[in-house]
Amino acid sequence: MGQETTNRYYQRIEEKAKDLPWYVGEYIDKRKRKLSPASLLNYCHDYLIFFSWILAEGIFEGKRTDIPLEVLQRLTRQQAEDFLSFLQFQLNNSELTVNRKLSSLKSLFHYLQNIAETTDLEPYISRNVMAKVELNAIKEDQETLANRMEGKILRGEEYETFRQFVAHDYGLINKDNKKLLNFHQKNRERDTAIVSLILGSGIRLSEVVGLNVDDIDFRKYTVRVIRKGNKEQYVYFSEQAMLDLKEYLSIRVSRYSLEKSNKILFIAASMGPKGTTRRLTSRSIEKLVEKYATAFGKPALSVHKLRHSFATRYQLENNDIPKLRRQLGHSSVQTTMIYTHLTNNEMQEAVNNMDRTKDPIDETDDHK
């Protein structure tokens, strides 16, 4: 999502927030650092529907912006259930959509009860009716999960395009921002190696965080990881990941002012006393991927989606679920089977291409 689009989203969010009670506007402002602008705009739509329903039901008489906190605190569980019924049977929302809108309300009410506080250090509300309401139990099949995931992962040429973006293009588009440019120039080899390793192996975020230099086998193209259940496993990674790891390792000691005895693979930029170094945390890696993904125009791309991207590509090219299951460290083959659904479209296209590229001579021979 470009900066211009992001600004438009925030402008619409501000416009919607003006039609909501002050405490909702406060909550939305607090969530700007945590949620994407698209998600925040959806929250605003959900809250407009909810507070309009309160007026339509006669629970409060007056303007939507004037609905006080006391109204929320006095809502009964039956009234909350009535609102969900309104969504499902009058607005014809699907169970998934009802769940999403209920989740946004749960998040708001949680903030009002457990986070926000008055000048007297009291919570905005002492009773949270939304905590008493359960989400619809929906069991999605693997194909549904796959379809939802499909637009949020890298496909085809995007693998290399995104890697190149992390390695070079991010710096180019921020050449006029000295702070961003300097930070990118210092960390681009490290960040590229992280992204390339996940895209080239599918290892988990926790596994990336825990890596040491000695865990990399440069001859066998494997990395030693500690999987769930504290199980040690050697996982293969791609040649491109190896190249990016070698480039990072060639500058790692000098760039981050490390002692040669320091074996942490992915180092955080120095903070505090000179010479202080630390391992990149899970949140730090999540944030750096989010930063590049947003600038790349694919804000839904996360560390976990990079893992999904690897798995989808592997299954498409190899069609070997048992090996993919081992590579990803899944305990159940059913978890791995989702990637067979993700690659169905590509497989169908490949079959269709066979007809379009068929040699005319072969067609003549078929009629003999």
Helix 3-17 vs helix 22-30: crossing angle, to nearest 10:
160
Q: What is the Cα–Cα distance from 215 to 263, expressed in whole angstroms?
A: 9
Give 115's DSSP letter.
Answer: I
User: Is 339 annotated as catalytic?
Assistant: yes
Distance CA 246, CA 190 (A): 10
Annotated catalytic residue 12:
no
Dig out the tokens for 164 from the structure.
């190149």
**303 neighbors 286 (Cβ within 8 angstroms):** yes
Is residue 341 among the annotated active site residues? Answer: no
Instruction: For residue 224, indicate whether it is catalytic.
Output: no
Residue 204: active-site member: yes
Residue with tokens 């080899």: 189
Q: Which listed residue (12, 64, 291, 304) is catalytic?
A: 304
Which one of the listed residues 101, 184, 307, 308 is annotated catalytic? 307
Neighbours of 67 (CB within 10 A): 22
**How far is it, in rounded angstroms, from Cα 236 to Cα 221?**
6
Angle between helices 3-17 and 37-56 (to 10 degrees): 20
Residue 8 CA to residue 104 CA, distance in Å, equals 22
SS3 200: coil
Half-sphere exposure of 325 (CA within 13 A, CB side): 13
Q: Which amino acid belongs to residue 92?
A: N
Order the strands of the 231-236 sheet from edge to edge: 216-217, 222-227, 231-236
- Tell me which of 228, 263, 283, 358 is the catalytic residue: 228
What are the CA-CA distances from residue 229 to residues 225, 236, 281, 292 (Å)?
12, 20, 20, 32
**Collapsing DSSP states into helix, strand and coil, what is residue 226?**
strand
Q: Is 111 a catalytic residue?
A: no
Q: Which of 184, 325, 330, 341 is catalytic?
A: 330
Q: Rounded CA gap, 63 and 55, in Å?
A: 8
Q: Which token pair is 33?
A: 């650092």
Specify the 3-state DSSP secondary structure of 366. helix
**Catalytic-labelled residue, pool 16, 188, 190, 204:** 204
Catalytic residues: 204, 228, 304, 307, 330, 339
